[in-house]
Amino acid sequence: MEKRYYSQLAYFIKAILIIIVLGVFFYIITELSDQIAETLSIKFRKNLVAIEYVMNIVFGIICLLFILIILLRGKPQITINETMIRTNRFKKKFEELASYHPGKGGSEPFVLSKEGKQYDIELSWFSKKDRKEIEAFLTERIQTA
């Protein structure tokens, strides 16, 4: 039996806030580029509006790329079945995992593989009920595997 857990509204709010911050950053950059173009135009006695447009285009493209990365990265989700756990960052069979360590003091919980590699599980994006269910299932499956 496979069960999927999806993140809550908090992740969507985080993405929206990051996009708003990037928008404000872009506005500040356009104001700064306007000041730079005006200063250079006075200094060189030429109209350097092209510099302002080029700077705005470059910073606009950078902001759009950041927004695309945020949106395409995907919401956190966890898929668990009888033999494996799959998140956005890793896919492991329970027999490859050595132990589960719950989060303490605001840190995210993680699992350790038998090779000693640590895999973080972003449970903070899930509801409390889902977190408890996931933690109980992981603990039980890793101990029996």
Do 83 and 140 reside in the same domain of the chain? yes
- Mean pLDDT score of the chain, rounded to an integer? 85
Do 92 and 138 reside in the same domain of the chain? yes
Here the tokens at position 92 are: 């492991």
Is it the case that residue 87 has pLDDT exceeding 80? yes
Is 4 a domain residue? Answer: no
Task: Record the pTM.
Answer: 0.64
Is 3 a domain residue? Answer: no
Q: Which of 8-12, 62-66, 76-80 has the lowest mean pLDDT?
A: 8-12
Is it the case that residue 46 has pLDDT exceeding 80? no
Report the run of H or E that residue 69 belongs to, with start and end. Answer: helix 49-73
Do 32 and 90 reside in the same domain of the chain? no
Q: Which tens digits make up the pLDDT trace of 99-114? A: 888 888 778 888 988 9
pLDDT of residue 117: 92
Is 94 a domain residue? Answer: yes
* Counts of helices then strands in the chain (DSSP H, E): 3, 7
Give 24's pLDDT tier (boundaries 50, 70, 90). Answer: very high
Exposed e or buried b per residue across 50-71, where buried means at least 16 C-beta atoms within 10 angstroms of its C-beta: eebeebbeebeeebeebeeeee
CATH code, 84: 2.30.29
- Domain residues for 15? 9-73
